[in-house]
Amino acid sequence: MNTVILREINNETMAEMGRIIRNGGLVSFPTETVYGLGANACDDTAVQSIYAAKGRPSDNPLIVHIADVADIGTVAREVPENAKKILEKFAPGPITVILKKQPYISNTVTAGLDTVAIRIPSHPIARALIRAAGVPIAAPSSNLSGKPSPTKAEHVIHDMNGRIDAIICGGESNIGVESTIVDMTAERPTVLRPGGITLEDLRTVCPDVAADSHILQSVAEGEQPKCPGMKYKHYAPDADVTVVEGSRESTEKKISELVAKAKADGKKVGVLAMSDIDFGADLKLSSGKNNKEFANRLFDALREFDNQKISVVYAQFCIQDGYGLAVKNRLYKSAGNKIIYTGD
């Protein structure tokens, strides 16, 4: 398939992208979190082709994107009071709410669940595309299944060129991790995936929000998590990633030792760290000075290690702050839960 790579965005080209979606095609587009891979959420065949293009398991449901909070009733059957409060404060933005679905939302979107994930992105290109399409857009992150989510158009081109109809290039996603998913159908609203809105932020509006136990733990064999995506391999580069977690000093010491050992074994070694030392690695990438910056750089860094054929990566995690949970959730998954705690 010839993929149109759209770099010039104006009313005409946006109308054309909207037409492609409406008529059953696949268009990748920027959002403030990560790039999405969109299809008409009311067109079963189009939604099926998302799963095919990504190589995504069909029991992992998609998020439906709408342009305005006011349109939520077209997708959700009921909107509880606390969901309204959360949306009023954080939407449009990096928040996804799980609500009971309207009957005509396709089972292919929701993987047969009675609930639907809904997000109202704040990115102007995402909103313009939904409006141009005139239909809700089902969109997962626009990466090959299992790979780090794309935060730049070049990541999408790398994974999706030739597999979809079009890619809208819109610069870097400024948040860099996906939206926070809150299940509003549970007795207590529950965060299933931490993301662009922190737990602390959510609790300012909805103090009893809980955090699902699978956010940092892997899913046991045969266990059925609330968020089906949790049971799959995620965010994994080709390199073998290990997280080294603890104080700044102790993680620096541990990583330096690990790097020296891996190099002695003939490996090409990468380090992703907040500390400003080079660790003796073949490629050292900075994760910034706090977890907000880390979130913003993480997926790009994981892809850069692959571009440079790094075989082993040590990732330092040394400060706890509001974005720490979202970063750790991605890091642990990218490492397949290989974590070394330095014990302080």
* Residue 197, Cβ density class (10 Å: 0-12 exposed, 13-18 middle, ≥19 buried): buried
Question: Applying CB under 6 A, which of residues 3, 6, 30, 31 lies at the interface with ligand TXA?
Answer: 31
Beta strands in 83-156 (DSSP E): 95-100, 115-119, 137-139
| Encoded tokens for 317 | 């995690």
What is the contact surface with Mg ion in residues (CB under 5 A)? 141
Rule CB under 6 A: which of 110-169 touch ligand TXA?
110, 113, 115-117, 119, 139-141
Q: Which residue is nearest to ligand TXA (CB)?
A: 229
Half-sphere exposure at residue 111, Cβ-oriented, CA atoms within 13 angstroms: 16
Rule CB under 6 A: which of 177-206 touch ligand TXA?
178-179, 181, 192
Kindly state the smallest distance separating residue 179's Cβ from ligand TXA, in Å. 4
C-alpha span between 252 and 318 (Å, rounded): 9
Q: Which stretch binds ligand TXA (CB under 6 A): 33-41, 202-210, 240-248, 268-276?
A: 33-41
Question: Are 24 and 142 spatial neighbours (Cβ–Cβ below 8 Å)?
Answer: no
Q: Which residue is nearest to Mg ion (CB)?
A: 141
Kindly state the smallest distance separating residue 63's Cβ from ligand TXA, in Å. 5
| Maximum distance among all Cα pairs of the chain, rounded to whole angstroms | 60
The site that binds ligand TXA (CB under 6 A) totals a number of residues, namely 27
Containing H/E element for 295? helix 291-307
* Residue whose CB is less far from ligand TXA, 116 or 209: 116
Q: At what angle do helices 291-307 and 324-334 cross, to 10 degrees?
A: 20
| Encoded tokens for 334 | 């990218």
Kindly state the smallest distance separating residue 65's Cβ from ligand TXA, in Å. 6
Kindly state the smallest distance separating residue 300's Cβ from ligand TXA, in Å. 16
* Residue whose CB is less far from ligand TXA, 82 or 151: 151
Kindly state the smallest distance separating residue 297's Cβ from ligand TXA, in Å. 17
C-alpha span between 172 and 207 (Å, rounded): 33
* Residue 201, Cβ density class (10 Å: 0-12 exposed, 13-18 middle, ≥19 buried): middle
Rule CB under 6 A: which of 48-107 touch ligand TXA?
60-63, 96, 98
Which residues in this chain contact ligand TXA in the complex, by CB under 6 A? Answer: 31, 33-34, 36, 60-63, 96, 98, 110, 113, 115-117, 119, 139-141, 178-179, 181, 192, 226-229
